Amino acid sequence: MLFLVVVTGSMPYTTAIAENMRFLPGDVFFHGTLSRKMIQDARDSGVITIDYTSPTPGSFSGHAGYSRLKLVCENEKYLDSIDAAYTRIRLNSPRLQRVVKKAIYGDRVITIRREEIVEEESNPLSIFVYNKATDIMTTRIGIKYNETWKQEFRRFSDRAKGPPALDEFVKSHQAISESWSRAEEVPALSALLPMADPLKGKSIDEPITCQAANCMAVVTSDVNYDDIYNRTNGVIIFTISVDGVEEYVGTKGQWERQEKFDIVQESE
């Protein structure tokens, strides 16, 4: 006699996106894009303002988390290092510009007062902001190592009745296992959070604040997060801190630090 045994259980998480997830407390990095204009503006303001960029295409399911980071750069050397990394990357991945028409709205969103033509960078670099003490040799780039992600999802999401949505940049079984098993070992990004209370299903535009002196930025032109996570041969990243800039190349699943380089100024 044959028996069919069916085993069921509750699903602990899903990789389907219930909201467009932004930064949540407990994440070890904040991710966005970096353009030449952002660096130039920071020379005057002393602040790099980064809007959160998700690895997942946007949906119409609302937003959750903090959408903006202010990186306070009181040390000029930090900006010099970011500028150096940007310039170095652009030697092999040239900056592309596009001209777009931008609507200038009045008091009501549906009322367009005028339109203006602006030029913007169409291929900005990818930037991850980590704690300065982060060791990229043992910490995999692109996973959040968030020990309290379930609780934070429930706090920010308006879809709390469904399974928590795991919005990792790399969704392989190996990456998920790495994120969960080592979450206690990798400290969360140290950031000053705004006083605004979470509104379920809404992103918080009031920025979180990080001091550049306490941070390390990882900058790359590569947007294949699986390759960055796996340190695939030929993938290049730059780490930036107040101590300077370092270049690393993926080699047989490890990061290999490169020799110091001379900076050639990017032509405008």
What's the token pair of residue 169? 């940049």
Partners of 248 in beta bridges: 237, 257
Q: Is 245:81 a contact under the CB 8 Å cutoff? A: yes
Digit-by-digit pLDDT tens for the chain (268 residues) are 444 433 333 334 444 444 578 899 999 999 999 999 999 999 999 999 999 998 765 544 556 889 999 999 988 889 999 999 999 999 988 888 766 665 555 555 555 555 565 557 888 999 999 999 999 999 999 999 999 988 888 888 776 556 666 678 998 999 999 999 999 999 999 999 997 777 777 889 999 999 999 999 999 998 899 999 999 999 999 999 999 999 999 999 999 999 876 655 555 5
Helix (H) or strand (E) holding 246: strand 244-251
Q: Is 253 left (phi over 0), alpha (psi -120 to 50) or beta?
A: left
Amino acid at the residue 15: T
Q: What is the pLDDT of residue 12?
A: 43
Residues 6+ apart with CB under 8 A from 214: 131, 132, 190
The CA distances from residue 4 to 1, 8, 11, 241, in Å, are 10, 13, 22, 59
Partners of 138 in beta bridges: none
What's the token pair of residue 235? 């993938």
pTM: 0.83
Distance CA 21, CA 39 (A): 26
Residues 6+ apart with CB under 8 A from 158: 19, 62, 64, 200, 201
DSSP string, 178-234: HHHHTTTTSPPP--BPPSPPPPTT-EE-SPEEEEGGGEEEEEES---HHHHHHT-TT
Q: Decide: helix, strand or coil at residue 149.
A: helix
Q: Is 166:30 a contact under the CB 8 Å cutoff? A: no
Q: Decide: helix, strand or coil at residue 88.
A: helix
